Amino acid sequence: MHELCRDFFLMKIHTFRKRTLIERPIDDVFAFFSDAGNLERLTPSFLNFKILTPLPIEMKQGALIEYQIKLFGIKMRWLTEITNWEPNRRFSDVQRKGPYLLWDHEHRFRRVGNSTLMVDTVRYAVPGGILEPIAHRLFVRRRVQEIFEYRERAIAKLFKSAQAGDFAMCN
């Protein structure tokens, strides 16, 4: 069996889910998340996150976005592909190169009155072989939670201070 296939079948896939209620209309929320340039605003500084792909990026199925991050003190590049694109409903980005064996992040949006419920579901697998359970439990799971907790606080702050139409110019 090919080594990559063997690793895929042996890896432990974890699922992380975060629900965030954003007190803004779905058109505003989706417009904000459709602009890849906003990713830096939603990422904690400890990742030293930087988009390498020239902006603006046309968000659509098949779009590729390259980033640079610093994870546990190590600089690395991360390439994602938008694999699903359904405006005002959902989109998915999948890691093509990066620190994980698997990273598949689905963003779902649902209108709830004048607000938007955003549900993030991330399926991911951590390298480490037999040490993977320890690495995941001690470092990775906590780091993923920290990133999404930061993101939730940043979203609340950005949308609370935004005025109607502030996100209409996003791509």
Positive or negative torsion for Cα 49, 55, 56, 57? negative
Helix axes 141-161, 26-33, angle to 10 degrees: 130
Q: Is residue 167 part of a domain?
A: no
Name which of 67, 100, 101, 65 is nearest 81 in CA terms: 65
Place of tokens 């649902």: 110
What are 82-85's contacts with CB under 8 Å, separation 24+? 85/59, 85/60, 85/61
Give the pLDDT mean for 147-164: 84
Q: Are 79 and 65 in contact (CB under 8 A)?
A: yes
Q: Is residue 72 part of a domain?
A: yes
Q: Under a CB-based contact definition with an 8 Å cutoff, are residues 153 and 20 in contact?
A: no
Residue 2 belongs to some domain of the structure? no
Range of the domain at 154: 14-161
The dihedral formed by the CA atoms of 146, 112, 30 and 121, expressed in degrees to the nearest 10: 40
Does some domain include residue 50?
yes
User: Using an 8 Å Cβ cutoff, are 121 and 105 in contact?
Assistant: yes
169 in a structural domain:
no
6 found inside a domain: no
Q: Residue with structure tokens 């005002």?
A: 88
How many domains does one find in the chain?
1
Q: What is the mean pLDDT of residues 150-158?
A: 94
Q: pLDDT digit string (tens) for 44-95? A: 999 999 999 999 999 999 999 999 999 878 899 999 999 999 999 999 999 9
What is the pLDDT at residue 120?
97
